[in-house]
Amino acid sequence: MSYFDIAKECFVDEINLNSYVELPGPMMAYEELELAFEKPFKMMLLYGEPGTGKSLLLKRIYEKKKYQKEIHFIDSPLLGEEEFFRRFFNILIQKPMPKNTKVDFNTFVEFCKVIKGQREIIILLDEAQLYPKKILEQIRILSDTGVVRFVIVVHKTTDEDVIAKSHFQTRIWGSIELKNATKDELKTYVHQRLLKHNQFEIANLIKQKNIDFIYKMTNGNFRACNKLLYTTFEIYQYYEKNDPSQFTRDKFSQKFLEMAAIAIGAINV
């Protein structure tokens, strides 16, 4: 295995709680969401730019709370109405929907009326901006039953999405925004990702000058940071195999960082 294989794998962009790094901004959002679970909300809105850690935060709170509350994490949009019905059947009825069974939406609403006061169901709905408007309307109606409560996660856009507007707005208890990392948070993030994989030597080589450049190229976005550093260590691997004289192991290569920034399009040449 290459010396830089593990370092590269530290920055694979995936929802992996083993690589979770506690930072002030995301922790504040987590605590806000945790407090909201104790209140009679219909909907909570969690939003932010892509790459700010929304999905990871949802997965973390799901894993922490699933033994304390009836909570479900739907991590990918169910774009078809049939898939939507089947998943919600599983959640509400607590068993899979039999094949060839047809259940209309009114059945769900009536069932919610029956179990009101007996169950409180929290559904964490990721990537909600990808759902059709018809399903979003059905989500709104389900939230009005007082049985099913939703944490709705959307990308921040210029118009804040249909979910944050019109008829949804009056049902949203509160909004939580996840932002890009500050420079200090990004420094902690980079070092901790490496340290979690025992890459102490490489972590110690990444100095403030390198962090300043990473921050400038990524604006503190975690996904962009992962992409930049993953590509940087790919470049290290290439030169380790083909021309080791191009770098030294006692100093982190700013040149390779710059090459990676060009490769991912952060620098135009």
Which pLDDT belongs to residue 134? 84
Instruction: Please report, for the chain, the start and end positions of each structural domain, with discontinuous segments joined by +.
Output: 5-14+182-263, 24-178
pLDDT at 158: 47
pLDDT, residue 41, reads 85
Read off the pLDDT of each residue in 150-170 and give the average, rounded to a whole number. 64
On average, the pLDDT of the chain sits at 88
Quick one: average pLDDT of 235-247? 93
Indicate yes or no: pTM above 0.85. yes
The closest of 199, 204, 90, 82 to 134, measured between CA atoms, is 82
* Per-residue pLDDT at 202 exceeds 90: yes
Identify the band that residue 159 occupies on the pLDDT scale cut at 50, 70 and 90: very low
pLDDT (tens digit, 9 = 90+) per residue, 23-60?
999 999 999 999 988 888 888 889 899 999 999 999 99
What are the φ and ψ backbone dihedral angles of 205, each rounded to 5 degrees?
A: -80, -20
CATH 3.40.50.2300 fits 24-178, yes or no: no
Q: Identify which has the larger pLDDT, 268 or 21.
A: 21
Mean pLDDT for 87-104 is 82
Q: What is the mean pLDDT of residues 133-149?
A: 88
pLDDT of the residue at 161: 52
What number is the average pLDDT over the span 52-72?
93
Give the least confident one: 133-137, 153-157, 181-185, 192-196.
153-157
Percent of the chain with pLDDT over 70: 93
